[in-house]
Amino acid sequence: MIRGKKIIVVLPAYNAEKTLANTYAEIPHDLVDEIILVDDGSTDHTAAVARELGLEVIVHAKNMGYGANQKTCYKAALARGADLVVMLHPDYQYSPKLIPAMLYLLAETDYEVVLGSRILGGRARKGGMPLYKYFSNRVLTFVQNLLMAAKLSEYHTGYRAFTRRVLETLPFENNSDDFVFDNQMLAQIIYLDFLVAEITCPAKYFPEASSINFTRSLKYGLGCLRTAVQFRLNKLGLLSSPLFATLKPRSRLQKDDARFALSEPLEP
């Protein structure tokens, strides 16, 4: 725990048998209270390895998609009383060693969402990010920042941490079961004006790390653009998308009250 807050790490897994143990070994177990792995119908021994490591394991009987996996992750974490939730891919692409920095930002500051950015620090290409992915990342991020009036370095990282309030507020069940889920969730966070922090996050690219091919990347990119357009049209009152229709941006008074509560002295 940090400041008495229960911390749960969720691992949305699919065929992560070869990388799970390395990921688990680098998680700061002195800070993390529980680790939940959701196996999305893997065809390897991911669930068996997870149980050997002593993780809480939830198995989807069939592959339901990356977004559906995260939905199960977050619902399970909330049901087990998490105050802070870190979503980490078990493919060892993102370093678990950044978890303490992400958690302390949530526990000790006004931030309620923390993103591990591959773009901050300028080492994405040196880490092995394919050129087409880097280029599409930069273009999509530029367009999304314009449409959503934000200033993030990237919208496409899979390394994220949230406060309980964020997860309880977002209607993430309305989001896609596919890869665009991540982007829709971040758009909802921006729509509600939650404070988002970014930290530099070097990423590794190797054969065992999960990735999507060019065709699915193209589908994902178009989905991101569609989400950004829906965001803007909803803000203008020209559309009522299920992603945003139930969301009511907090008033300045509500935001100030929230920040005051977060800044009050906490018992050690």
Quote the longest CA-to-CA distance of the chain.
52
How far apart (Å, rounded) are the C-alpha atoms in residues 164 and 186? 15
Confidence of residue 20 (pLDDT cuts 50, 70, 90): very high
DSSP output for 160-182: EEEEHHHHHHS-GGGS-SSTTHH
What is the number of domains present in the chain?
1
How far apart (Å, rounded) are the C-alpha atoms in residues 38 and 25? 18
Q: Which domain holds residue 151?
A: 7-257
Q: How far is CA 212 from CA 27, 99, 188, in A?
A: 25, 25, 24
Does a structural domain hold residue 88?
yes
| pLDDT for position 12 | 98
pLDDT digits (tens, 9 = 90+) for 34-43: 999 999 999 9
Does a structural domain hold residue 2?
no
Does a structural domain hold residue 223?
yes
pLDDT digits (tens, 9 = 90+) for 110-144: 999 999 999 987 777 877 788 888 899 999 999 99
Pairing of strands 160-163, 84-87: antiparallel
DSSP output for 115-127: EEESSTTS-TTTT
Yes or no: say if 231 and 145 are a contact pair by the CB < 8 Å rule. no
Locate 170 and state its tokens.
């977002």
Does a structural domain hold residue 1?
no
Does a structural domain hold residue 268?
no
Does a structural domain hold residue 248?
yes
Does a structural domain hold residue 264?
no
Mean pLDDT value of segment 26-31:
96
How far apart (Å, rounded) are the C-alpha atoms in residues 172 and 220? 17
CATH of the domain at 30: 3.90.550.10
Does a structural domain hold residue 263?
no
